[in-house]
Structure 1
């Protein structure tokens, strides 16, 4: 096996020299780069967008480093995405629209039986992420620009909240398997079964009755998924509950004001909440016969599945909110 250095020392030195010419203060980003590596390539790539508006020199240092990584990986035979991103600067917060194809690379050989289960599990986990959240910054919430426009009407400088992901045309049929609310529970059970099969084939005995104490451990005793059919963007209910009382005071009904804002359910600046909110686009599939062959065509709609994923705690606010959902 031959060793190839890919001139990494020279590349790194040139990156630092170029950054120093632009702004000596931007060199402090080197430490932050080492920190962000632990959070994955997506986090590393996104930093140049976060800094683009307010600190362009630092942003350029991050982007140049990413471009260098892409080039080195290309020389080694590995393709790292580097698509052009359209940045929206109409607010103080940078936003980006990005599309791409995610590819997984198996770095060591496995028996065919293990490969088949692993492939199935990885595809299911990608569908799981798309169904209940998304990827990147603020994935636990639906994009407020789409589903809560009034949030920005009085103050356009408010921080942008959350994200919105959807399948591209090539995946609407093959990957978008959850098209009705009735599909959600069987889909989640399928993931658990496949994950258990993978653990077993690796020689480990699953212990479903002894789940980990992680806050967001995905276990039937630890998580609840609530859903409703939403007829368009304006028919989004839960996004209002994040910022306003979900139940108003009513003296005649002896009804108290109830809210989850800034509680353990929704979290706060220094505390991640226990609720995920997702507006998952509904797509119909039309099947026809053409030249004696069955052909399926995906038909996007204006509707959504509004999904709330809850990891309940023992707080009174959480108990009250779950009772409210039961009544709804």
Structure 2
């Protein structure tokens, strides 16, 4: 099947970071640079930074890569939603360096025949790492295009052998109160919990993610391991995971518990259904400039041909 949004070009060839950086320097010299980033003063101070942290080699994957230009390292690492560190987009970059990332283990249990607890190095080695370029879109109607590195979550789930009772996968984020000022607030019930239906979790697009731009994930982007579900809003992609639990019943996720009138279980990108407080028909690409024209939001974030069959017969207005 022909997919117009895909490309035979390797993700690293779409827009090399050196080209991106040159383009951004034009903005840096202008007074609108902070607006172009759509980020905090911290982002402005980090404009000339290169990707940092341990190198994470990964094979290029062209099958699941968008042909859109990627965002810069600075934009990806300084404009984040990670409420454990605060509600400001620059809060994660400011505070996340206090996270304790080693040692790190993840428990995989529940409706599986082989429950197991693995450290982060064992998890990285479980399957070959590959780089994919996905768009990550937040429900606030802004988006980033990011070269993630990891492997399909299905590899891990097959390793633990789900039982017939396994209908849903539940992801739990770490809580480190001494490093995470946001968990001292009552914004959400902590720890952060998200979930997928089993067939969603087993889809090859769902990425168990360890890095970006060829380096380990920065803490503010969900280190050392997160989920990326590119056809859903960004809050479905749980960060800094410590547990993956399989169960027979649909979980009540953190945002469902906090605001059930606004956030449902599925959170599929559907531009035809507005959020109760804003339209989702268009989006703003971070880095395009504050006054740049908004672009139309695509159903399922552009992956409709690959995932729409998962929801055949469902009312996606009721199952939001």
- Structure with the bigger RCO (C-alpha within 8 Å, sep 6+) is 2
TM-score, reference length from structure 1? 0.25
TM-score, reference length from structure 2? 0.26
Higher strand share: 2
Of the two, which has the highest radius of gyration? 1
Higher helix share: 1
